[in-house]
Structure 1
């Protein structure tokens, strides 16, 4: 990574980029999935949340300082980066979905019932 931390709104794509790089996050969620994603990041210890109002009042600097000086944030982000790397990326995910949809098994290894999905794809 070319940075020590990421400051972002918390959209899923930028969050994934930051986590793949293993950098801690300061998020200022505004809309859509951003608040829920920010809450999950905070819960796992990879991010601090700053409201838009607090950001406008100078709240970004102390939050950024905190994620840069508390090693727990980088550790949590690094663990997620390692898990993401082991998952194999989009190509492996697509291969798993395609295999599950054409396989005769009714349930995936994760326990998801694919009967309705197969019927919808066949229609």
Structure 2
């Protein structure tokens, strides 16, 4: 297009200068862009949730892939030093004490859960 057509539009009043770009932009958006509906917003939020969840899972898996070899080496060193420091009877006694602590923890969690369930039904 040539510059003369813009000047003609300005003289004829079809194109008006508002003075500020904000009202011009708002006028353009309100006339030319469709406004989202509730379903469109729901779809956008669901897509945002899925994309952000995928990004978080990807980042966690990436960090885990970096840290896992270090954890394996540290656990192996800890286990070897642990096995060298104790006799077999001490290790079995410690293992059974760990199992008792875990069993007590699980039973207390189940007891609290059942208390909450029974208080709901009262």
Structure number with higher relative contact order (C-alpha < 8 Å, ≥ 6 residues apart): 1
Q: Which has the higher helix share?
A: 2
Q: Is TM-score (shorter-chain normalized) higher than 0.5?
A: no
Q: Which has the higher strand share?
A: 1
TM-score scaled to structure 2, two decimals?
A: 0.25
Higher gyration radius (CA): 2
TM-score scaled to structure 1, two decimals?
A: 0.25
